Chains A and B, each alone.
Chain A
Amino acid sequence: MQVEDMRLDGNAAAGTLREIFALDVTAALAQCACCGTVAPMGALLEYGHGMGVILRCSSCEAAVVRIARTPGWIRLDVSGIAFLSIPDSPASA
């Protein structure tokens, strides 16, 4: 099985993201800090594994969001996001 077959969309991480953010961020627009591409978080490429989630840019494959679970902690690295625009109602999405 190819690693490419394993990848999902950022949408698949929506439940985990809702544990962290007060709003749904899968429709939010994230600008990749590496290449500047702007895309909905739900359209990022998700690579899940036992300990957490990595969301990668669909253009340059840089890690945009990293979420790791360790006992008692959720650890979030969003240094791959230069700017995040979050719709505050479904109608704006």
Chain B
Amino acid sequence: MIPEVSTTGLTPPRLEWRVATVARVHDETPRARTLVLDVPGWPGHRAGQHVDVRLVADDGYQAQRSYSIASAPESTSVALTVERLSDGEVSPYLCDALGVGDGVEIRGPIGGYFVWEVAQGGPLFLVAGGSGIVPLMAMLRHHAAALASVRAGIPVRLLYSARTVDDVIYREELAALAAMPEVRVSLALTRDAPRDWAGFRRRIDRAMLEEVGWPATEMPNAFVCGPTPLVESVATQLVELGHDPSRVRTERFGPTG
């Protein structure tokens, strides 16, 4: 008897560059802009995945960067939130020059490690520094799009550090998400905070992780994203607090902070 060929494995198509069109732009903060892209033939994505963006100059010079997807898998368009780095090659173009109707080359979705789906369950502990909030926002939006009965079984805690209150990306949406009974949002401002600020006024540290995170006995799925020094210190502290290293997933954004 000839064994049947397995059809259970998904064979994704070859990763190809496509031209996406900017459908909308939205300034999130003075330094971060969301680009909502229409991508013909987009195969869908999972929360936490990223895309590569390629810019080609007239002389053929190419620059390529990775950007996390901010939109939920349930969304038909692809939203990227890009932080403008003053000495960057790609981000100033994406933040300042690209407008509605313009095309940009992307390929994706990419990555199968730093992803979360409702089926993976919780509790969920999300820790972000700066624009590291972007892939975690896709997870929060994915969570919010689930049935209330499903959400109730997946409590989420987000700890997000930013320099000032004006640097908090998705501030209003995070406040709305925090109104849901199963979502708790904690913000830490590291440089400057309003006088009536009720959140933390320091960098994320071990005491903060203990105070707002889940105890290791709850076996949360932890996702940590942001500048490399923040990610490494948080991941180390979570393991010191007893969390299983295989349940602490990290995405380092490099030295920018």
Chain A residues within an 8 Å CB radius of B46: 90
Chain A residues within an 8 Å CB radius of B255: 1, 5-6
Which of B10-18, B87-95, B195-203 interfaces with chain A? B10-18
Chain A residues within an 8 Å CB radius of B117: 90
Contact between A15 and B52, CB atoms less than 8 A apart: yes
Instruction: Name 24 A/B residue pairs within 8 A (Cβ), A-sorted.
Output: A1-B255, A4-B229, A5-B229, A6-B254, A6-B255, A7-B228, A7-B252, A8-B253, A9-B114, A11-B113, A11-B251, A12-B251, A15-B15, A15-B52, A18-B110, A24-B110, A26-B112, A26-B114, A43-B113, A87-B112, A89-B9, A90-B46, A93-B112, A93-B115
Q: Indicate the size class of the contact surface on chain A.
A: 20 to 34
Minimum distance in angstroms from B138 CB to a CB of chain A: 14
Chain A residues within an 8 Å CB radius of B114: 9, 11, 26, 42
The answer to whether the Cβ of A22 comes within 8 Å of any Cβ in the partner chain is: yes
Contacts known (A14-B112, A15-B66); A88 close to B8, Cβ less than 8 A:
yes
The answer to whether the Cβ of A10 comes within 8 Å of any Cβ in the partner chain is: yes
Chain A residues within an 8 Å CB radius of B10: 88-90
Contact between A19 and B15, CB atoms less than 8 A apart: yes
Chain B residues within an 8 Å CB radius of A88: 6, 8-10
Chain B residues within an 8 Å CB radius of A89: 8-10
Contact between B228 and A14, CB atoms less than 8 A apart: no
A10-B113, A88-B8 given; name 15 further pairs at CB < 8 Å. A4-B229, A4-B232, A5-B227, A5-B254, A6-B228, A15-B110, A18-B15, A23-B12, A24-B110, A24-B111, A24-B112, A26-B111, A41-B113, A42-B112, A91-B119
In the complex, residue of chain A having the shortest beta-carbon distance to the beta carbon of B50:
A14
Please report which residues of chain B, range 112-160, place their CB below 8 angstroms from some CB of chain A when the two chains form the complex: 112-115, 117, 119
In the complex, residue of chain A having the shortest beta-carbon distance to the beta carbon of B64:
A15
Bound Cα distance from A82 to B198, whole angstroms: 51
In the complex, residue of chain A having the shortest beta-carbon distance to the beta carbon of B249:
A43
The answer to whether the Cβ of A53 comes within 8 Å of any Cβ in the partner chain is: no
- Give 1 or 0 for each of B6-34: 1 = CB within 8 Å of chain A CB: 10111110110000000000000000000
The answer to whether the Cβ of B77 comes within 8 Å of any Cβ in the partner chain is: no
Contact between A24 and B12, CB atoms less than 8 A apart: yes
